[in-house]
């Protein structure tokens, strides 16, 4: 499975790269802030909301510490999606947040 560091994501955002970030945390966690531009799909909703994701689009998955996003990546990678796990999750994120 591919991984990316928070610093690498920040550098890509600073370079105005078009990133597709999916936050799999629960609603109450996202209420504390989300990476700007990220879409929110709680981990438990991934199977029923997969149609919102395009297999041709690379996605970066994030959760609190990296475990749930790892699970989402494992599941979707097995179905042919282009996924990358954010190492350390939001606990390692030092960039801006949207509320």
Domain ranges, ordered by start, for the chain: 2-92
Q: Mind listing the pLDDT tens digit for each residue in 6-42?
A: 999 999 999 999 999 999 999 999 999 999 999 999 9
pLDDT category at 73 given cuts 50, 70, 90 is very high
Is 63 among the residues known to form the active site?
Answer: yes
Average pLDDT over residues 42-62: 97
Contact residues for 99 (Cβ-Cβ < 8 A; gap 6+):
31, 32, 33, 34
Out of 43, 46, 62, 63, the active site residue is: 63
- What is the architecture of the domain spanning 2-92? 3-Layer(aba) Sandwich (3.40)
């Amino acid at each position: 499975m591919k991984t990316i560091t928070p610093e690498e994501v920040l550098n890509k955002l600073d370079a105005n790269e078009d990133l597709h970030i999916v936050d799999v945390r629960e609603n109450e966690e996202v209420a504390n802030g989300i990476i700007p531009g990220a879409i929110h799909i709680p981990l438990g909703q991934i199977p029923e909301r997969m149609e919102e994701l395009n297999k041709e689009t690379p996605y970066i998955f994030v959760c609190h510490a990296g475990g749930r996003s790892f699970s989402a990546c494992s599941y979707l990678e097995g179905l042919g999606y282009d996924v990358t796990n954010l190492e350390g999750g939001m606990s390692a994120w030092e960039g801006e947040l949207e509320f």
